[in-house]
Structures are given as C-alpha cells and as structure tokens.
Chain A
Amino acid sequence: MSTLEHKLTKTSETVFTAEFHTLDGNGLEKAKKYADRFRGWFDGVNATDNTAAHAHVSNVASAIAMKQLGLEPILQVVCRDKNRLAQQADIMGASMFGVENFLALTGDDVTAGDETEARRVFDLDGPQLVRLMSTIKRGEYMSGRKIDPAPHMFIGAVENPGAPPFEYRVQRVAKKYASGAKFLQLQICYHQDRLEKFCAGVRDAGLAGKIAIIPTIILVKGASALNFMHNSVPGIDVPADQIARVEKAADPCEEAYLQTLEFAQHALAQPSVRGLHITDFRNDETLERLMTDLGRVRQSITSEVKENHAYSA
C-alpha cells in the first residue's frame, strides 16, 4: 500500500502532494535535482502526462525515475494523446515498476499546446478512464482478458471547482467516486466562495470520508503569473482584486507568497478536504517556507527506505 493510500484510508492525517517538474533534455539529472527539493515533504508527486499539451519525458519514465529517487509517484494518465490500448499499457508498465497511485484526467486540448496540428485522441473521457483503472485493479483488461495477479492500485481523479457549471461539478465527483476514484485533486481555484460551495456540496452529497478532496495551490512570484493564468488558461479565472493585491504591493514577490499561504489555509479549512496539492512555479526557498508555515515537518529518508525506493539506482 502506498503512503498516500495509507494516510488517506487508514489515518486522518493531512496529506501533501505536488506536481513534478516536466523533464526534457538531461532529464535524469534534473529529476535528481527536483527530487532533492521534494523528498521528505510530499506523500505523492504527480508524474505529469504531457502537461498543457506540450511533449516532454513521458509520464511512465518520470514515475519510474521518481521511484528510483525516493519519491512516491502518482501516475497521471490523460485522454488526449493515447487510446485505451496505450493507456492500459502505460498503467501496466508503471505498475510493473511498483507505481501504485494513478490519476485519471481528461486533459487539456491539443490547442493548449505548441503542436496544435496534432490529432486529438480522447478515445475515453475522464470518468471512463477511472472506470478502466478500476477494471485493471479488479484484474482484467477492458476486453475481459485476465491480469493475474492484479496490480495494486490507488485511483484518483481531478475536478475543477472553479469552472461552470458550478452546481454540476459535485455530481461529477459522485460519478468519479462511483467509478472507483478514492481521491480527487482539484484544479487551482482563486474564487474562495466557489471552493467553499464545492467542498460543502461534496459533504452534503454524502461523499466526505469516501473521496479525499485535495485542492491545488500554486506558488508564483508575482502578478504576471496570475495574469497569465487568468488570460491564457481556460477554466481558471483569477479575480481582479486578487491580481491587484499582488500587483500593487510594495513587495509583490512577498505578497504573492502570503496570498498563496492564505489560499492554502483557507482550502485546508474546508469540509471534505484531506490535503493540498502544490504546484511550484517559483522554484525557490518558499516551497520549504510554505510547508513549514503549514505545520509540515520534513520526513527524513532513512537509508533503508532509500534502498527500498531505489529500483536500480
């Protein structure tokens, strides 16, 4: 059982997950550098799958590297680039290397990326992919062909509490839970009222304690990143007063940090919330500062644990 699954299903501890950096040239060296920053802070780290429709080192290769480097990977699988056959192959391939956490996403469209001429696949959609993961977990491929032994899987999904239709988003959570999702990472939401309603809705739907809600917060250096998200990332709306707050501050960098901390504390106080997912766009010492301010103590990795994690390093 993965640490993430153990904490979410057997304890009431708050969990922290993070987005791993994308890898390109000299990927393994960079992965080592990033792993040194992340190790000991997080219960799971997302091995991303061509984020924002840009090609990078694959999700499966990143997840294996993370295992070797002492991080616990969460394998993201998106529906944009691969059909159901390839998705099953990726899940089984990662599982062969000991990956146990899986995250099903619909995925950004190819138009969000830098190769907009590419064919979009979307053979399955997000909820169907969750169900497919449950099928593999049960010991069968989609076709019904047996997998013996069945891989150990802890399945999660994603939802956006900040995009319309707001009142329908909770029903999608119920659908994903019914399909087998046990945790749900949320997309960043800069409208606190929307997050509050969403989390209360999950509770009112009787899903609290059944599916762990993990809102995202993002560490940014200033207003330009907020403006970028507001203007260029569909599904993310940053209220003008939040942007102005950072823009007009005497020290925008510090204000951006304080804003992130406030959002983190607010998110953790919501019903059904079991932890936070952190995306670090700052790449500086504030990651450590944030974790400390949130009361997290960095776990030391013993040599024994390192050995267990090191597949072949």
Chain B
Amino acid sequence: MAEKKLSKKALNKSFRNWYYGNLTCFSQEHMQTFGYLCAMLPLVEELYDTKEEQKEAMNTYTAFFNTEPQVGAVIVGITAGLEEAKANGNDDVDAETINGIRAGLMGPIAGIGDSLVVGTLIPILLGIALGLSTGGSVVGPIFYIIAWNLIVTLGMKFLYTKGYELGGKAVDVLVGERATAIRESIVMLGTMVVGSVASTWVSVTTSFHLVNDAGEEFLNLQKQLDSVYPGCLTAAFVIFCWWLMAKKRVSPVVTMLILVVIAFVGVLVGFFNPGLKY
C-alpha cells in the first residue's frame, strides 16, 4: 500500500474551513466543536476511502473543543499531521492520542492566544490606529484593517502548516521554556503600550477647586494632582477597577455600575463636573 499523503488542496480547504468557520456555529455547550469537524472533514475524506473508516475518524473530533481560534490553528495543523500518520498505520498514533494532545493543548493555547493576540497584538495595532485617526481621519481604521488581516492570515497559515509538519513534536515547542520566555517578553511590551494607551486616551479629571473670600482660586485639585504625577487620577481609577475585578472578583458589568454610583456622588458634591451647556 502506497503511503498516504494529504494533498495541498485538502490542506488548504481544511485551513479555510477553520479560518472562516471556527466560531460560526458557536454555542455555550459545544463552542468550537463544529468548526473543528468542518476543518477535519476534507482531510478525513481524502485519507479514508470507506464510509465506516471516515465515520470512525470523524468520531475522534466530536469531543468538546474550545481555544483561541487564531493561535489555535496550530492545533488543527497538528491533528492533520497526526491523522495522516494514523491513516498510514503508525502504531503510536490512535484516536486516543490525538484527542489527548488536542485536549491537552487547548487550555495552554487559549492562554497564549488570549494574552498575545487579544491582549497584546490587537491593542497595539488599535493603539497605533487610534493615533492615526486623530480628527476623524480614515487612515487609522484602514491601517488596522490591513495590518491586522495581513498579520493574522499569514500567521494562522504559518501556524497551521508548522503544526502539520511537526505533528506531535510541536507540543514541546509550544509549551516549552523558550516559548514561555518569548511570551513573557511580548506580554511585557504589550503592558507598556497599554500603559501609554491609558494615559493618551483616557482622561479622568476633577473640577474640585476652592476659592478664597476675594473669589481667587487658591486650590485647583487637578493641577495639584498632576504636579505630583501627571495623569494620576486616571491611573488611580484604572487601578481601582483592576482591584475590584482581580482582587474582589467583581464582574465588569458590576464594576461599571460602581463607576456610575461614584460619578453620581461625585457630581453631587462637585468633585466631577463635565461643564456642559446647550
């Protein structure tokens, strides 16, 4: 029997199905399971001739799956490589191994993907795009559309292909110490950029000031605070929100409601005043 090799066409189709369909039929119960089934279908159809074999192979991928879909392309690639090995009668690979690797990777990859793609890459690109859209310029959004789609499409394709080539060996690369060092460095870069996004785009200010008998202002709290550390009221609110959510386990929606209360009280006592008129 000749060795089975997945054609470029089937791999491309599998990648496209994942790229587009990873979350189209999302539910809280099965999340990305159906996207995964669609991604594996072209491969399974090519590797196995009989309906029974196809059914058995597809059965592997009916298990629950959820990860960060962009970086998660690497897992789909890995299983493509493993499925090919299995179809060629490699004794080390059976449905259980494949599902073990798949289930073992989806957690770490979700963590990597959420921190690198959603938590770092997107905020940096958006931060730059926000800077470019000053005054309502279309350059900002257009920059983001092009930069993000270029990076993410090429990146996902690269991860998928690498995963396929390496198969099971990719696991060490993904969760090894080197990968952790790279990830930590990038997250640090991202955190710095987010700090500058916070100071550039967020502005919490107080209107609190005291006047003496002659009507001259002798205390302008905002100026005082800024002379201690520019933007410190904004920073204080960011930390307060972080403290509520990270330390007190308050949900984002409740945090927003707490801010509403603070704003209401602040306006009542004259600490906040946006100073608007018709």
Decide whether A and B assemble into one complex: no
The interface of chain B, by Cβ under 8 A from chain A, is none
A residues near B (Cβ < 8 Å) are none
